[in-house]
Amino acid sequence: MQQIDATPLSDEELQGLDAYWRAANYLSVGQIYLLDNPLLGEPLRPEHIKPRLLGHWGTTPGLNLVYAHLNRVIRQRRREFLCVIGPGHGGPAIVANTWLEGSWTEAYPNTTQDEQGMGRLFKQFSFPGGVPSHVAADVPGSINEGGELGYSLSHAYGAAADNPGLVVACVVGDGEAETGPLATSWHSNKFLDPVRDGAVLPILHLNGYKIANPALLARIGDEELTALLQGYGHEPYLVEGSDPATVHQAMAAALDHCLDRIDEIQLEARSSPERPARAAWPMIVLKTPKGWTGPHTVDDLPVEDTWRSHQVPLSGVRTNEEHLRQLESWLRSYRPEELFDNDGRPVERLLEFAPGPDLRMGSSPHANGGMLARDLELPPVEEYAVPVKRPGAEDGEPTKVFAAYLRDAFRLNAEYNNLRLFGPDETESNRLSAVYEATDKAWLGDRRATDENLAPDGRVLEMLSEHTCQGWLEGYLLTGRHGLFSSYEAFVHIVDSMVNQHAKWLKTINRLDWRRPVPSLNYLLTSHVWRQDHNGFSHQDPGFIDHVVNKKAEVVRVYLPPDANTLLSTMDHCLRTRNYINVVVAGKQPQPNWLDWESAALHCARGIGVWDFASNDEGDPDVVMACAGDVPTLETIAAVDLLREHLPGLRIRVVNVVDLMRLQDSTEHPHGLSDAEFDALFTTDKPVMFAYHGYPWLIHRLTYRRRGHDNLHVRGYIEEGTTTTPFDMVVLNNLDRYHLAMDVIDRVPSLGTRAVATRQYFADQRVRHRAHVTKYGEDLPEVREWRWTS
């Protein structure tokens, strides 16, 4: 691998850098170990040591080195940088650095830059009531917690998008690099426009180990590693060594070179009338020992430069005198007396080494995206509404209707460069292609004459990696911009754990007063469980909703708009919100338009409501038929139609739910209905047949405390399905109109015997259905052609 053969640092610069690095290392070790005696004013004693030693040392010296060197180039180039730390378990490193540069104290004024503050900094780390061990939201300058490994690079690219002046340095752990999400996210460079976007500088931290094993990339040899990184589209530069002075020179030289290359690439792209060919962006491979500068051996076992340095190299410090002694000499090896004055304040040359408040990474407004976020300009949503003269008389394709609105949203915000659409190559399949009238798909790879809608500066990002889409979007949102992820419902489970982490991030920033709310994470799940006509069983899973509702109520919203106008209204709302995870499930197939714009807007504002057009209960129902989701709504209305025809006296109330969280208790969720409202809608003593989009148990979990819960019968997806007709899907899961109607007959007291012939007719229809689809491969005409006419 190439190395830059230069020693750009003067002695003074070298010493400055090294001092800064030593200071950060000292502060990191202090956080892991010290409860007291932060400046080592007296010899270390057991009572100065924390009773529980937590945290990770191994990765820390490398992170500190990177941070110090970035500070140098920021000062020299006066350019905005952000630093994304893949191995975020090296939390002490970034906490230390932000304290040194002053941004920590700005966020947490009590943790002053003096002995008392240093003592607090040390004590609070991984301590009850203190700060967690990762580069979490609590850490200024962070947009990547790094607890769950694998998302640093996609976050970095999301941050760089539409920020042409920004350089996002991204440290990737050599262990982290083994994760699937990270491994594919290298290809993000084919979606980065050198004109409109900023730059990402990956720094692969080849410290050789993960927890208890060597890292793969550290053990495939230089040739394979070089080929791999070139294959990813990069020009890699090696910085290798364990002698600090040598590494400082090499790192400075490599950084200078890489940043010059970035300037060249950007300048060329920005100044040439024709687009130059895609450039191989530079990157750094930093090969230094894990646990560098820590104890070389402990209890006669090698620690530095082995996996044993991963967590806490010295574990018996409170009880083992030798460990205590080793810790003290380790700490003193950084020569704290040169780094902090008697008051514990970093000495002047350290303070000067850090960039000023305008450019230091811990204060970057990009990392506190709410500071920069501008509300979207949104078109007047009612103008996109489909006319609905009679409920259910005509069909619409909800996502297609929404697409026109989204297209115009792109147009209205074009000058602000703050909106993007993400998807794993499903935008077209999800009928959102109207957006291509306003913008293209980002594509920096080779192009062919037959390609369509590809351009370097497209705002639609499509890569067949749900992980990368999600990571990009998170990075984009956390730096204060807006976005929407459209995915198949089943496959959004691929990012379950990423959603967890984002939900945790949002929960955390809600209680950090210096963090401003960021635009919401919006999902549009349109190829959903009921309409996988081409695909079948593997594509049928509505459980993402169950997954997200386990997260804190304050951050989670779930919407199931049943038709085009309700989808419009829902999306228009979601795009205006902050700090939420909005999950919207809606169909892309033609389906009846139920509500005109005015009713739709009211219905969505309420989130739940009686549908008068389908109800004949006059305030006193025999049965409540509730529904949530487009297909369940269709089946419910069709069931009502059947019941009205066959049992005209039956008083039916239809309740539709758009905002699923309305079902929960108002004490459990901010959107929850009060008991009085719930009881009024659903009654406390009448049977309620609930046709639900997803797994039926979720409705019980949301409503088990309600008074009428014992009367609630839910139909939903019970994991039955294959490649079959749309109506057969609902039949297989007992969610079809006939079954719903039979359910009503079974539950409404006294109907049973009276309606036995009707019930039998419904049951027979299901048999007829089976015979018909098996023979003809399409649904019964009376099902396909059914329309609400009552």
Structure tokens at 692: 């639900």
Among 25, 126, 163, 207, binds Mg ion (CB under 5 A): 207
58 binds, options ligand TPP, its own copies, Mg ion, none, Cβ within 5 to 8 A by partner type: ligand TPP
Size of the site for Mg ion (CB under 5 A): 5
Would you tell me how many other CB atoms lie within 10 Å of the CB of residue 447?
Answer: 11
Beta-carbon-side half-sphere exposure of residue 74 (alpha carbons within 13 Å): 27
Among 468, 479, 589, 593, binds its own copies (CB under 8 A): 468
Rounded distance, CA 226 to CA 206, Å?
13
- Return the DSSP state at 131: B
Rounded distance, CA 89 to CA 410, Å?
38
Which residue number, 269 or 494, has a Cβ lying nearer to ligand TPP?
494
Rounded distance, CA 536 to CA 539, Å?
6
302 binds, options its own copies, ligand TPP, Mg ion, none, Cβ within 5 to 8 A by partner type: its own copies
Size of the site for ligand TPP (CB under 6 A): 26
Name, in order, each residue with C-beta under 8 angstroms of 746's C-beta and a sequence gap of 6 or more.
752, 759
Give ∠ CA 205-206-209 in degrees, rounded to 5: 110
- Residues 209-268 interacting with Mg ion (rule: CB under 5 A): 215
Q: Are strands 419-423 and 441-442 parallel, antiparallel or unpaired?
A: unpaired
CB of 118 to its own copies, least distance (A): 17
> Are 653 and 489 contacting, i.e. CB atoms less than 8 angstroms apart?
no
- Beta bridge pairs of residue 525: 487, 585
722 binds, options ligand TPP, Mg ion, its own copies, none, Cβ within 5 to 8 A by partner type: its own copies
3-state secondary structure 85-105: ECCHHHHHHHHHHHHHHCHHH
CB of 365 to its own copies, least distance (A): 24
Span from 42-50, 160-168, 207-215, 337-345 in contact with ligand TPP (CB under 6 A): 207-215
Burial 512-533 (b: 16+ CB within 10 A, else e): eeebbebbbbbbbbbbbbbbbe
- Residues 311-340 interacting with ligand TPP (rule: CB under 6 A): none
Among 38, 119, 175, 336, binds ligand TPP (CB under 6 A): 175
Burial 569-594 (b: 16+ CB within 10 A, else e): bbbbbbbeebbbbbbbbbbbbebbbb
- What binding mask, one character per residue, do residues 103-142 give for ligand TPP by CB under 6 A, x or -? ----------------------------------------
Among 174, 328, 736, 743, binds Mg ion (CB under 5 A): 174
Beta-carbon-side half-sphere exposure of residue 278 (alpha carbons within 13 Å): 21
Rounded distance, CA 746 to CA 760, Å?
12
CB of 378 to its own copies, least distance (A): 27
Span from 19-27, 70-78, 337-345, 492-500 in contact with its own copies (CB under 8 A): 492-500
- Taking the alpha carbons at both ends of the chain, their separation in whole angstroms is 75
Would you tell me how many other CB atoms lie within 10 Å of the CB of residue 241?
Answer: 18
Among 42, 446, 618, 785, binds its own copies (CB under 8 A): 446
- Residues 545-574 interacting with its own copies (rule: CB under 8 A): 546-547, 550-552
Q: Is 464 in the site for ligand TPP (CB under 6 A)?
A: yes
The CA-based dihedral angle spanning residues 309, 310, 312, 314, taken in that order and rounded to the nearest 10 degrees: -20
Name, in order, each residue with C-beta under 8 angstroms of 169's C-beta and a sequence gap of 6 or more.
66, 70, 81, 82, 83, 84, 156, 201, 203
Span from 16-24, 143-151, 604-612, 640-648 in contact with its own copies (CB under 8 A): 143-151
Q: Is 391 in the site for Mg ion (CB under 5 A)?
A: no
> Are 204 and 285 contacting, i.e. CB atoms less than 8 angstroms apart?
yes
> Are 175 and 168 contacting, i.e. CB atoms less than 8 angstroms apart?
no
Structure tokens at 402: 């929404």
- What binding mask, one character per residue, do residues 289-328 give for its own copies by CB under 8 A, x or -? -------------x--xx----x-----------------
Among 207, 599, 711, 725, binds ligand TPP (CB under 6 A): 207
333 binds, options Mg ion, ligand TPP, its own copies, none, Cβ within 5 to 8 A by partner type: none
CB of 491 to its own copies, least distance (A): 6
Q: Is 176 in the site for Mg ion (CB under 5 A)?
A: no
Q: Is 685 in the site for its own copies (CB under 8 A)?
A: no
Rounded distance, CA 91 to CA 81, Å?
19
Rounded distance, CA 668 to CA 27, Å?
42
Q: Are strands 301-302 and 297-298 parallel, antiparallel or unpaired?
A: antiparallel
Rounded distance, CA 420 to CA 410, Å?
8
Q: Is 206 in the site for ligand TPP (CB under 6 A)?
A: no
Q: Is 730 in the site for its own copies (CB under 8 A)?
A: no
CB of 232 to ligand TPP, least distance (A): 17
Which residue number, 305 or 328, has a Cβ lying nearer to Mg ion?
305
Which residue number, 468 or 656, has a Cβ lying nearer to its own copies?
468
Among 533, 677, 679, 746, binds its own copies (CB under 8 A): 533
> Are 405 and 379 contacting, i.e. CB atoms less than 8 angstroms apart?
yes
Q: Is 469 in the site for ligand TPP (CB under 6 A)?
A: no
- Residues 222-251 interacting with its own copies (rule: CB under 8 A): 224-233
771 binds, options ligand TPP, Mg ion, its own copies, none, Cβ within 5 to 8 A by partner type: none
Task: Determine whether 245 is exposed, middle or buried from the number of CB atoms within 10 Å of its CB (0-12, 13-18, 19+).
Answer: middle
Q: Is 734 in the site for its own copies (CB under 8 A)?
A: no
> Biggest alpha carbon distance in the chain?
98
Name, in order, each residue with C-beta under 8 angstroms of 314's C-beta and a sequence gap of 6 or more.
33, 295, 298, 323, 326, 327, 330
695 binds, options ligand TPP, Mg ion, its own copies, none, Cβ within 5 to 8 A by partner type: its own copies
Q: Is 211 in the site for ligand TPP (CB under 6 A)?
A: yes
Which residue number, 578 or 707, has a Cβ lying nearer to its own copies?
707
Q: Is 149 in the site for ligand TPP (CB under 6 A)?
A: yes
Backbone angles phi, psi at 665, to 5 degrees: -65, 145
Q: Is 282 in the site for its own copies (CB under 8 A)?
A: no
Among 159, 251, 463, 626, binds its own copies (CB under 8 A): 463
> Are 650 and 748 contacting, i.e. CB atoms less than 8 angstroms apart?
yes
- Residues 374-433 interacting with ligand TPP (rule: CB under 6 A): 424-425
Size of the site for its own copies (CB under 8 A): 125
Would you tell me how many other CB atoms lie within 10 Å of the CB of residue 188?
Answer: 26
Among 678, 695, 762, 786, binds its own copies (CB under 8 A): 695
Interacting residue ranges for ligand TPP, rule: CB under 6 A: 58-59, 87, 89, 147-150, 173-176, 179, 205, 207, 209-211, 215, 290, 310, 424-425, 464, 491, 494
Interacting residue ranges for Mg ion, rule: CB under 5 A: 173-175, 207, 215
